Structure 1
Amino acid sequence: MSTTQSTVVVTGALGGVGRWVVDRLVAEGRDVVGLDQRLPAAGGPDGASFFEVDLRDQGETAELIAGADPDAVVHLAAIPDPTGHAGSRVFTNNTESAYNVLHAAGSAGADVVWASSESAYGFPFADRVLAPDYVPVDEAHPLRPADPYGASKEAGEAVARATARRHGVSVVSVRPSWVQYPGDYLTERNREAFDIDELAARSTDAPPEGGIGNFWSYIDVRDLASMVTAALAADVDGHEAYLCHAAENYLGVDTERLFDALFEETPPCDTEGDASAFTTAKAERDLGWTPDHAWRKAADADVDGPDFA
């Protein structure tokens, strides 16, 4: 992708992540076309226009993306987890919309950055605690989802690879962790309730009460937005996937100690201190991206975020 793009289509533009991405793109001087299931109440920020769309409708999706004549498409819209909906709805919605958006983007000659998920590995929504093959997990680790959300993201990455091959555009699959918002970190409840002795004393392979998150990983929404813009500016050939995680776990406990408590047979663990169980070394190498925000300051930060919804 080049740095000369001027028009970017953003799907899910009014979602929690979408608003931060739109706000950042507008601040960078991009013309943004936002697509969502509804329109913003106050019209949205200057530099952005919005259209209501059902991304499961291929005709609507293709018409709006072709009409925008974008340089790039950022696809963020999805049902974000397998809870609260029938699994068939989660899988069908996410895969159908991903196909429609990526195919329309490729047909328009637009490069793509889209939100896959670390859930494609199969860890977050499993009904038992699954051990990774090694820690820190990287992009080469096998994807083994057993839930409809993780499976939809693995399927979406297959669509991403097909789009890059078929249309000759670049497609970046961002695999973010649990997204947190400055001043409102949901991780804080998990951290305050955490007890490593209780974790080690579990008698079953079921997740402990409160779960383990994504091996206690997270990402600040501002860092996710910065990875999107870094991917838009980078020279990516074909399809590439990148993990998007904060540099440390949200507990402030040594990661290797956590894995020792979680598993009878600890997977190979090459981390120092409370470093994240997922590595973003590939993103640093290829995109020049590193996370800037950590829970110790961001959890209670008073930050003015996007004010349109």
Structure 2
Amino acid sequence: MRILFTGGSGKAGRHVAPYLAGLGHQVTNADLVPLGHPAVTDLRVDLTDAGETWSALAGLATMDELDLPEKPSYDAVVHFAAVPRILLAPDTTTYATNVLSTYHVLEAATRLGVRKVVFASSETTYGICFAQGERRPDYVPVDEEHPTVPEDSYAMSKVAGEVTARSFQARSGLDVYGLRINNVIEPHEYAELFPAYLADPALRRRNLFAYIDVRDLGRMVERCLAVDGLGYEVFNVANADLSVAVTAQEVRERFYEGVEQRREMGRDETFYAVDKARELLGWTPEHSWREVLSAG
């Protein structure tokens, strides 16, 4: 596939974009800073500018395309570009940047006839991660039907992005899949970060004691690109197990007393339910911090 990947220089993108290129896709990284990967083409694009966004999607990807009889079109857009959390920019900037860029990407993609858009939403949409004080979920495990009522600018921008994506899908009929991505973990971060999480599980309560290995995130995007015909869908994206050494029962007893439990859960099962991605996309996460660290 010929793919425009926005935000390919970010924490997740710098792994996922090359992964897709390694599968044989032609990947153009639309970002403000270059990725510099030999298998990925870099294109400097300000996605908050509607004209730049449209031009990037309508334009050439490589010099080699000049030798084709006519310019090819993009088959898919993977939209990861964003201010990635609160406290990196003023709240107004975070919200405006993320909402505008998502609108521009979706408008250009749908009007130019791109048949598949995969966009990054967030775990924060459920209103727990960046809440002032403590927030607990309405029920566990948290699935895609859980209310999305956040208080912070970043999560608000992601909810707005989902509404925008659903609207563009409704008027275009294209496939638009949103990924509610949990805390992204690179392989080297298991040894760096997780010993503290194993020592103090409370450090993970804002992430619902979940995480997503960036390698499994790449596979999730690949499955979204491969599976057609779902229309508009959103998916939780997390690894299968907890990011802490205590059991799911111990987490419930310590942190979620009185919170409704809607089904039985496995001993180490994530509270960030990924059943929908398994069922509709055939995606199963493969990696775990347990490959690197002992739970004992």
Which residue identity does 1:191 align to in structure 2? Y
- Contact 1:124-1:214 within 8 A present in 2 as well: yes
Find the residue that maps to 1:216 and give its secondary structure.
coil
What is the CA–CA distance in structure 1 between the aligned matches of 2:245 and 2:198, rounded to whole Å? 11
Q: Which moved more, 1:12-21 or 1:113-122?
A: 12-21
Distance in 1 between residues matched to 2:218 and 2:94, nearest whole Å: 24
CA distance in 1: counterparts of 2:217 and 2:105, whole angstroms: 20
Distance 2:288 2:281 in 1: 20
The Cα offsets for residues 248-296 of structure 1, whole Å up to 9 and x where unpaired, read as 1111212232122124523326322121001111111110001000011
Deviation (angstroms), 1:157 = 0.3
| Runs of 5+ unmatched residues, structure 1 | 1-5, 196-207, 301-309
Give the 3 Å change call, closer, same or farther, for CA 297–211 of structure 1 in structure 2.
Answer: closer
SS of residue in 1 equivalent to 2:205: coil
Counterpart position of 2:265? 271
Q: CA–CA distance in 1 between the matches of 2:280 and 2:292?
A: 26
Give 1:95's aligned amino acid.
V
Structure 1 residues 177 and 299: CA distance shift in structure 2, 3 A: farther
Aligned to 2:157: 152
Give the corresponding residue for 1:25. 20
Structure 1 pair 268/132, CA: closer, same or farther in 2 (3 Å)? same
Identical-residue share of aligned pairs (%): 37
For the residue of structure 2 that corresponds to 1:140, the secondary structure is coil
Contact 2:204-2:210 at 8 Å conserved across structures: no
Equivalent in 249, 254, 258 of residue 261 of structure 1: 254
* Alignment partner of 1:179 is 2:171: no
Q: What is the Cα-based RMSD across aligned positions, in Å?
A: 1.8
Whole-angstrom distance in 2 between the partners of 1:113 and 1:70: 13
Q: Which residue of 2 aligns with 1:200?
A: none
How high is the TM-score relative to the length of structure 2? 0.89
Are the counterparts in 1 of residues 197 and 204 from structure 2 also a CA contact under 8 Å?
A: no
Q: Shift in Å at residue 86 of structure 1?
A: 1.1
TM-score, structure 1 normalization: 0.85
Give 1:220-299 correspondences, 5 Å limit.
220-268=213-261, 270-298=264-292
Q: 177, 191, 212: which is aligned to 2:197? A: 191
Partner residue, 1:106: 110
Amino acid at match of 1:124: C
Conserved? CA contact 1:171–1:240, under 8 Å: yes
Per-residue CA deviation, residues 44-86 of structure 1 (Å, 9 max, x unaligned), is: 223x321101110000001111115200000000111112321
Distance of aligned partners of 1:240 and 1:79 in 2 relative to their CA distance in 1, 3 Å threshold: same
Does the residue aligned with 1:251 lie in a helix, a strand or coil? coil
Question: 2:204–2:243: 8 Å Cα contact kept in structure 1?
Answer: no
- Relative distance call for 1:163 and 1:187 in structure 2 (3 A) is farther
Map 1:56-135 → 2, pairs under 5 A? 56-68=48-60, 69-110=73-114, 111-135=116-140
- 1:299 CA drift (Å): 6.2
- CA drift of 1:92 comes to 0.7
1:12 aligns with 2:7: yes
Which runs of 5 or more residues in structure 2 are unaligned?
A: 61-72
Distance (Å, rounded) in 2 between the aligned partners of 1:289 and 1:266: 28
Higher relative contact order (CA 8 A, sep 6+): 1
List, as ranges, runs of 4+ consecutive aligned residues in structure 1 with deviation greater than 6 Å.
none
For 2:43, the aligned partner's letter is F
Q: Deviations over 1:137-180 (max 9, x none)?
A: 11111111111111111000001101111222110001111000
CA contact 2:169–2:232 (8 Å) conserved in 1: yes
Q: Distance in 2 between matches of 1:189 and 1:162?
A: 43
